[in-house]
Amino acid sequence: MPMWVHPQFDPVALQLGPLSIHWYGLMYLLAFGMFFFLMRRRMALPFAPLPAWTAKDLDDLLFFGVLGVVLGGRLGQVLFYEPLRYLANPLEIFMVWKGGMSFHGGLLGVIVALALWARSRGRRFFDVMDMVAPCVPTGLMVGRIGNFINGELWGRVAPSDLPWAMVFPQVGDGLPRHPSQIYQSLTEGLLLFVLLWWFASKSRARGQVSGMFLIGYGGFRFCTEFFREPDHFDIGLHSLPLSQGQVLCLLMVAAGLAIVAWSRRQGKPE
């Protein structure tokens, strides 16, 4: 059976003189644009938290969120995944154009950034997080598409008779592999968005939407990690065996369950 071969896209989508626009950068722009559009829809809901959200609130929130994603994602990569490498070469921490962004670090960065924004606006933390959470998965979806275009974060070796198995020439072994970037785009991105958007379309107790996001993402990511080739710097629980990403996802699910349990005790806000 013939196998698919990754087409090895040019990572540069557009060249404007000395300026190179990369596909992954375009995916980030698309992610933030989709977030902005979806947040406008969320702000119009009749049960949106008071005081009412304004266009300036959304602009400022997006600015804080971008900083949280970039700074948190980079620091997460440094601290969670490759501390020894960056300890030996500290200047590489600032070389973001060489790649290296951690989702879990980005998530923590966004939480800190939005907590600061909520405090500065006199809003409740979970009111802000519940508004934001359903608008995040579409960004994760296009981010994984960017990974696929770059031919990075490929999957584990797959059976040769798997109809969608794909050879990634970047690996150099010629073996068929799972296109795990697509799995993650469809589950942690599209499917999570559909479920969370439906769940958040009705008034929920404060914190429930945030908790469900952590449970949903953590659960989907835990499953797709079985099909993704572990990074060379992965220090997960190999004796179980679990990848480092799966360990962090279990912590996410536990945190989500705790938030949902706390939320149910609080009841719906007035």
Contact 104, 140 (CB under 8 A): no
Instruction: Show the tokens assigned to 106.
Output: 């980005």
Q: Tokens 């921490």 correspond to what residue?
A: 93
Specify burial of residue 31 (Cβ count, 10 A radius: 0-12, 13-18, 19+).
buried
The annotated binding site is made up of: 144
Which residue type does 38 have? L
Instruction: Show the tokens assigned to 213.
Output: 């996001």
- Helical pair 192-199 and 137-150, crossing angle rounded to 10 deg: 170
Q: Tokens 């279990």 correspond to what residue?
A: 250
* Helical residues (DSSP H) of the chain, grouped into ranges: 23-43, 55-76, 83-88, 103-121, 125-132, 137-150, 180-184, 192-199, 208-224, 244-266
- For residue 196, what are the CA distances in angstroms to 18, 98, 135, 247? 42, 33, 9, 23
